[in-house]
Amino acid sequence: MTIFTPTAANIARFAADLRAGRVVAFATETVYGLGADATNSDAVLAIYETKRRPRFNPLIVHVSDVMTARGLVDFPPLAERLARFWPGPLTLVLPRRPEARLSDLVTAGLDTVGIRVPAHDLARRLIAEAGVPVAAPSANPSGRLSPTSAAQVDAAFHGAVPVLDGGASSMGVESTILAVNGDSVTQLRAGALARDEIEAAIGQGVAVAKSGAAIAAPGMLASHYAPNAMLRLDASEPRDGEAYLGFGVGDGALNLSPSGDLREAARNLFAMLHQLDATATRIAVAPIPHHGLGEAINDRLKRAAAPRG
Ligand code: TXA
Ligand code: MG
């Protein structure tokens, strides 16, 4: 067992590990992250190796405050307005500043950086104490279900990675990723911040990137977030031999939200898929409405159900 409680001593120990170039896992409000010093290429390489992640997929850089972000990327006026969602479950893809000290492996050679200030106190304290920007993908082997608890991370890497336990992730799906280009903004990945909320805040529309677009992301590969079990979506009821993941009224092995609340469903999504995956070989999932956080939930379900390449 390599799960550590969030004491001051353990935070200091994890911060020292990060500075020393080691890979550690830690809680964020979206999902658990697998972090390393974003300025250290060996450390970043160790993330790719631990996750068995394809090298062409860039990593999100996590910083503890907006000030630090300004040293790494340019902020056009529209990005300034979007940054008011920080700290929070939003990643902005912005032009990399020439003087930014970041490993080229983090950006996979792109001239942009995906950057985020997480809202989870523990994550921010850890990053601030480490004193380096922290590259952190979700803490799961590439292509598999994302973790929303320390125990899931520990199980996924068989105890090989120390995990700083910040409790169950309050959001449960990854950050929303937006690319800002001049005064237009494109959503590259639906996530824990709903698109309609973003549109209301900035008073303009957010375009949606087509899957297979040039700025491909692992979260945008057809098959991702895959459980071992076969998944059948939009199922109004289970067939013989299927475990049922419900939504709203009705019964089932588990229910994402009996009251039909999409925030609750997002928070439960990966945890319940993990849980059903441990016992069932076939899972049927109830229809989920597409508005608000339903966009992110349906995106994850579609990829989880896709044929494996
Ligand atoms: O909530 C989250 O975002 C979590 C927590 C740990 O912060 N992290 C996360 O990271 O989901 P990951 O690596 O699983 O997903 C990062 C996504 C990938 O789809 C990647 O391609 C995209 O961000 N990305 C990162 N930098 C990018 C860039 N410069 N341009 C386009 N996409 C980028
Ligand atoms: Mg991921």
pLDDT of residue 309: 58
Provide the residue ranges of all domains of the chain, joining segments of one domain with +.
Answer: 3-208, 230-305
CA atoms within 13 A on the CB side of 194: 14
Cα dihedral 14→67→148→217 (10° resolution)? -110
Per-residue pLDDT, 306: 86
Q: Which atom of ligand 1 lies nearest, measured to the CA of 177?
A: 23
CA of 3 to the centre of ligand 2 (A): 21
CATH superfamily label, 3-208: DHBP synthase (3.90.870.10)
Nearest protein Cα to ligand 1, atom 6: 33
pLDDT, mean of residues 258-278: 95
Rounded Cα distance between 111 and 91, Å, is 16
Strand order in the sheet with 207-208: 3-4, 163-164, 24-26, 33-37, 134-135, 60-62, 112-116, 90-95, 176-181, 184-189, 207-208
User: Dihedrals φ, ψ of 246, to 5°?
Assistant: -90, 170
- 226: β partners: 144
Q: Give the Cα separation of 244 and 232 in Å (integer).
A: 10
**Residue 113 beta carbon below 6 angstroms from any ligand 1 atom:** yes
Average of per-residue pLDDT across 115-123: 98
| 137 Cα–ligand 2 center, Å | 6
Please indicate whether residue 138, judged by its CB atom, sits closer than 6 Å to ligand 1: yes
3-state SS assignment for residue 71: helix
Which residue minimizes the CA distance to atom 19 of ligand 1?
217
In this predicted model, what pLDDT tens digit does every residue of 154-202 receive, in sequence order? 999 999 999 999 999 999 999 999 999 989 999 999 999 999 999 999 9
Of ligand 1's listed atoms, the one at least distance from the Cα of 53 is 13
Which pLDDT value is given to residue 218?
A: 47
Can you state the percent helix, strand and coil of the chain, rounding each to 5? Answer: 30, 20, 50
pTM of the model: 0.91
State whether the beta carbon of 57 lies less than 6 angstroms from ligand 1: yes
| Rounded CA separation 177/174 (Å) | 9
pLDDT digits (tens, 9 = 90+) for 211-222: 655 554 544 556
Distance CA 294, CA 278 (A): 25
